[in-house]
Amino acid sequence: MQKQLEALNTKMTDLSYENFKKGVVLFKLATDSKATNELIRMAKENKVHLILHLPFFKGLIGGLELHPTYEIETYGADYRRWYFNPNWSVEQSDRQLRGDMLHSVIHLIFQHVRRKGERFMPIWELATELSADLLSNQTLDDLQKKHLLSRLQMDIHDISYIDSQFHNMSTENIYEELNQQFQKAMGQAQSKMNTYQEQLQQKGDQAMEQMKGDHQSSCQCSLGEVLDKFQEEVDEDMENLEKQRYENKVQDEVRKNRHRGTVPGQIERLVDLLEEDPKIDWRQMLLYYIQTVVIYDVSWKRLNKAMLANDIYMPAIEKSNLEIVVALDTSGSIGDDEMSEFVVEVSDILNSLANVKMILIDCDAQIQNVEVIEYGEAAIWSPANKRRHGYGGTRFEPVFEWIDQSTIIGELDQPELLIYFTDAEGSYPKTEPEYKTVWIVNNEHYNQDQIPFGEIISYF
């Protein structure tokens, strides 16, 4: 709170009437959650505008949770959230916010965080800003030529300030050019690093500011701060899975929109390159989703390493009991061998978690069989003995209705996760449940548009 009040005091120095009104707004944001909630509502409206008028970006923008925070200076996105500083966002118009949302998603699509490697972050951040501004403009130019932007209301960053030599460069090549300029601005200070560390830091800061000024960029997007925040919350394995999940989502959106002509050209070319690489195994993705819904308990048996690094002794977090529903589409469109393989794989994953109760449901057009594997029983339950029940039509609603009814009468706690193995051909519920849903789709030619909610993992 003190930081917000200090920021407010700075902004109130010029006591013009307009600045006074803005200062009142900033004070409300720092002290009143209702004001922040109003900003979230406005951000949602801007997100919806982009979803309606940029069809290709629907799943890439729509899946990001809006997260106000004072821990970053402006805005930015990781693979789960779009972060924005309320004090910053109140000064932006709706058109500017929409442009900044697109800018953030361009960073994600082109994996600017992943491609950083060992490069110097301040220079890499500036390189990615220039690259994202160029890519945003190229994206809109491409869609404009296809007559797809008639009702879009959005302001993106002006690129007239960007040196023409950068226009056809990769982000890595832009970085190399900027790094040379940085080294030149630093002069001979690099050789004196050990003796004059403080002076070197000052000269480095001055060199960065000079370089930003040369390219008329304030590095407005808080890419580095968001990266730091993201890496504090997840370990390396989880970070890689999050990156891969978003990459798969980009590929899925390209496949879904390619025949409609709504895919920007440079993104389509990027995905063509990505698809030359093997996809992450569906088993790893499923394990990731199971891990993200695990309920946690506090334990002092081992200390929280992140907090310990700051000399703060806090308990670590351990897994507690959870219930997972596994539904099988037994309508007949999926072969027995594939069904058996899936059941074995899911059983192996859940067997590694002793705190899981699995409810296994066979469903075609109606519930055909329900089997409950209690906590700790997965190790003695044999998937080889699982019989298939069904071979009728396909409706997905009965499983969701069964969960709702079983929860109401107390036979089942609300599950943390529903995993549905299907070819995705059938009728879906009209409303999204409160629990997470993951569709394991065994159909290379399914229409992703018809799946109204949940995460999708390709089985093929």
312 in a domain, yes or no? no
- Structural domain count, the chain: 3
Does 84 lie in the same domain as 158? yes
309 in a domain, yes or no? no
132 in a domain, yes or no? yes
Does 203 lie in the same domain as 122? yes
Q: What is the overall mean pLDDT for the chain?
A: 75
Q: 294-304: per-residue pLDDT in tens?
A: 544 444 444 44
Residue 150 scores a pLDDT above 80: no
pLDDT score of 273 = 62
6 in a domain, yes or no? yes
- Assign 49 a pLDDT band (cuts: 50, 70, 90): very high
pLDDT score of 315 = 43
326 in a domain, yes or no? yes
- Assign 77 a pLDDT band (cuts: 50, 70, 90): very high
Q: 421-447: per-residue pLDDT in tens?
A: 988 889 999 998 988 898 988 887 777
Does 76 lie in the same domain as 23? no
Does 379 lie in the same domain as 351? yes
Does 212 lie in the same domain as 168? yes
Residue 239 scores a pLDDT above 70: yes
Does 3 lie in the same domain as 63? no
Does 337 lie in the same domain as 206? no
Residue 95 scores a pLDDT above 90: yes
Distance (Å, whole) CA 446 – CA 428: 14
310 in a domain, yes or no? no
Domain with 88, as residue range(s), is: 32-272
334 in a domain, yes or no? yes
Q: 170-229: per-residue pLDDT in tens?
A: 888 888 888 888 777 766 444 444 443 444 344 445 544 554 455 444 457 888 888 888
Q: 355-397: per-residue pLDDT in tens?
A: 778 889 999 989 999 988 887 665 556 666 667 777 778 899 9
Residue 316 scores a pLDDT above 70: no
Q: 6-28: per-residue pLDDT in tens?
A: 443 444 343 333 444 344 444 44
The CATH number of residue 427's host domain is: 3.40.50.410
- Select from 211, 240, 272 the last residue of a domain: 272
Does 287 lie in the same domain as 260? no
pTM: 0.56
Of 67, 69, 66, 73, the closest CA to residue 7 belongs to 73
pLDDT score of 327 = 92
Does 338 lie in the same domain as 253? no
Higher pLDDT, 122 or 97: 97
Does 124 lie in the same domain as 246? yes
- Assign 39 a pLDDT band (cuts: 50, 70, 90): confident
197 in a domain, yes or no? yes
pLDDT score of 354 = 62
Does 200 lie in the same domain as 231? yes
Does 328 lie in the same domain as 268? no
